[in-house]
């Protein structure tokens, strides 16, 4: 008599039990795939947000420098005595790959004391704040809009 009869096979090795679990691996794969794809796209989305913040920060610095060399004493440049609208156009007309210019908000201020007029005179500060509305899209997660903002300040040189 064979010592491995049907009764002596442990229940976890029985073919009937294996036949009952045929779809379990597909269900497990579906759950793991959803979680894994959400994590991968989340990493991608946060990387894109970091890229957008870097560009917002760089545009604030560039706009501040643009304004600092175009004060009330500027004579050598074609667009001297820069205004808020010109600074906003300067930032929005730069080509930043992947950035929607209509989502950018640019605010320039020339804080000064009453003794120093005009406010865009050399020696006074100019401050530029750039904000960007970033749509954070991750599969299986509700969409959110992040406001990425950066500001920069410099002293007007001419």
Tell me if 4 is assigned to some domain.
Answer: no
Q: How far apart are alpha carbons 134 and 147 in whole angstroms?
A: 6
Tell me if 129 is assigned to some domain.
Answer: yes
Tell me if 8 is assigned to some domain.
Answer: no
Tell me if 78 is assigned to some domain.
Answer: yes
Tell me if 3 is assigned to some domain.
Answer: no
Q: Of 81, 55, 53, 83, nearest to 69 (Cα)?
A: 81
What is the CA angle 129-130-132, rounded to 5?
Answer: 145
Domain that holds residue 78: 14-155
What is the model's pLDDT at position 18? 55
> In Å, what is the CA distance from 103 to each residue of 56, 63, 97, 132?
11, 17, 13, 6
Residues 66-97 have pLDDT tens digits of: 999 888 887 777 777 888 999 999 999 988 88
What is the model's pLDDT at position 33? 93
Gyration radius of the chain's alpha carbons: 31
Question: Taking the mean position of all CA atoms in its chain, how far away is CA 50?
Answer: 5
Q: How far apart are alpha carbons 123 and 88 in whole angstroms?
A: 22
Written as tens digits, the pLDDT of the chain (158 aa) is 555 555 555 655 555 555 566 678 888 999 999 999 999 999 999 999 999 999 999 999 999 999 998 888 877 777 778 889 999 999 999 888 888 899 999 999 988 766 667 788 888 899 999 999 999 988 888 989 999 999 999 998 87
Whether the bond between 14 and the residue before it is cis, its omega within 30 degrees of 0, is no
Tell me if 136 is assigned to some domain.
Answer: yes
Tell me if 29 is assigned to some domain.
Answer: yes
Tell me if 102 is assigned to some domain.
Answer: yes
What is the model's pLDDT at position 25? 84
What is the model's pLDDT at position 6? 56
Q: By CB neighbour count within 10 A (0-12 exposed, 13-18 middle, 19+ buried), where does 15 fall?
A: exposed
DSSP string, 27-83: HHHHHHHHHHHHHHHHHHHHHHHHHHHHHHHHHHHHHHHHHHTSSTT--SSTT-S--
Domain count, the chain: 1
């Amino acid at each position: 008599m064979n010592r491995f009869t049907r009764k002596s096979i442990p229940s976890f090795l029985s073919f009937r039990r294996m036949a009952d679990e045929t779809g379990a691996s597909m269900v497990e794969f579906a759950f793991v795939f959803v979680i894994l794809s959400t994590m991968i796209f989340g990493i991608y989305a946060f990387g894109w947000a970091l890229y957008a913040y870097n560009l917002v920060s760089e545009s604030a610095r560039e706009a501040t420098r643009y304004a600092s060399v175009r004060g009330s004493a500027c004579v050598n440049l074609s667009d001297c005595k820069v205004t808020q609208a010109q600074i906003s156009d300067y930032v929005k007309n730069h080509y930043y790959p992947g950035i929607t210019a209509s989502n950018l908000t640019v605010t320039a201020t020339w804080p000064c004391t009453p003794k120093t007029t005009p406010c865009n005179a050399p020696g006074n500060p100019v401050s530029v704040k750039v904000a960007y509305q970033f749509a954070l899209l991750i599969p299986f997660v509700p969409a959110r809009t992040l406001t990425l903002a950066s500001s920069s300040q410099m002293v007007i040189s001419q």
